[in-house]
């Protein structure tokens, strides 16, 4: 049983989508820990209701990224975490944590990377930029986390037709439906298949 930590800063609907697939037995894993930087995150309420261990670790409480990373690493070690899922986590992951989880940490991004990614491109900022650009297709990307924003090797992408969407909010809602399908799928693949990375390409074996 793979032990997973989810990092979430907000309402946590992606966290819940993964949790549900684990509960139904579709993913053979355990969410052993929820970490949030935000004491008011909805994700924390869900964890409390479902008796999932949780920690609030705020970067502002540490003097450096290194010390913030050390605090995260000690919680991850305490719960024997093998895999990290960033599900709407809005803080930069410190380099020492990235190094400790090579190809064992994934993020969901609500656009087709490398378009509409990078610093400041999260949540509604992404959907507003997509809307303003007038593109007809957006989508989701699940990628490994490296030391920059949204640049790690891509595991899965799914396109979403947004040609009929009349607002960024409508795009967000359409894309979120796909996030809830594809983030759990990526977790399942990581737990069940042999995954290798050649340069930027992610390959799934048996
Ligand atoms: C999602 O759109 C996710 O792609 C992005 O932040 C949002 C989080 O939503 N990174 P939720 O907290 O999972 O409901």
DSSP 32: E
pLDDT tens digit at each of 206 positions of the chain: 899 999 999 999 999 999 999 999 999 999 999 999 999 999 999 999 999 999 999 999 999 999 999 999 999 999 999 999 999 999 999 999 999 999 999 999 999 999 999 999 999 999 999 999 999 999 999 999 999 999 999 999 999 999 999 999 999 999 999 999 999 999 999 999 999 999 999 999 98
109 classed as catalytic: yes
**Count of CA atoms in the C-beta half-sphere (13 A) of 58:** 6
Quote the pLDDT of residue 1: 86
| Ligand 1 atom, smallest distance to 179 CA | 4
Distance (angstroms) between ligand 1 centre and the Cα of 67 equals 26
pLDDT of residue 44: 98
| Among protein residues, the one whose CA lies closest to atom 6 of ligand 1 | 88
| CB of residue 87 inside a 6 A radius of ligand 1 | yes
Residues 81, 84, 89, 93, Cα dihedral to 10°:
90
């Amino acid at each position: 049983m793979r032990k997973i930590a989810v990092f979430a800063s907000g309402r946590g609907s992606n966290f819940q989508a993964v949790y549900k697939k684990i509960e139904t037995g579709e993913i053979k894993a355990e969410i052993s820990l929820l970490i949030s930087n935000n004491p008011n995150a909805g994700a924390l309420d869900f964890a409390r209701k479902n008796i999932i261990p949780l920690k609030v670790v705020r970067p502002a409480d540490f003097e450096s990224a290194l010390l913030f990373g050390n605090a995260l690493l000690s919680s991850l070690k305490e719960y024997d975490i093998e895999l990290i899922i960033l599900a709407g986590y809005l803080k930069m992951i410190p380099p020492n944590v990235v190094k400790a989880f090579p190809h064992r940490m994934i993020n969901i991004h609500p656009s087709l990377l490398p378009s509409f990614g990078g610093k400041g491109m999260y949540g509604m900022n992404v959907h507003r930029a997509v809307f303003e650009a007038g593109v007809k297709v957006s989508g989701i990307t699940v990628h490994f986390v490296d030391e920059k924003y949204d640049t790690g090797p891509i595991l899965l992408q799914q396109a979403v037709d947004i040609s009929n969407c009349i607002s960024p909010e409508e795009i967000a809602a359409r894309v979120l439906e796909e996030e809830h399908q594809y983030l759990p799928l990526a977790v399942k693949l990581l737990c069940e298949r042999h995954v290798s990375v050649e340069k930027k390409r992610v390959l799934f074996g048996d």
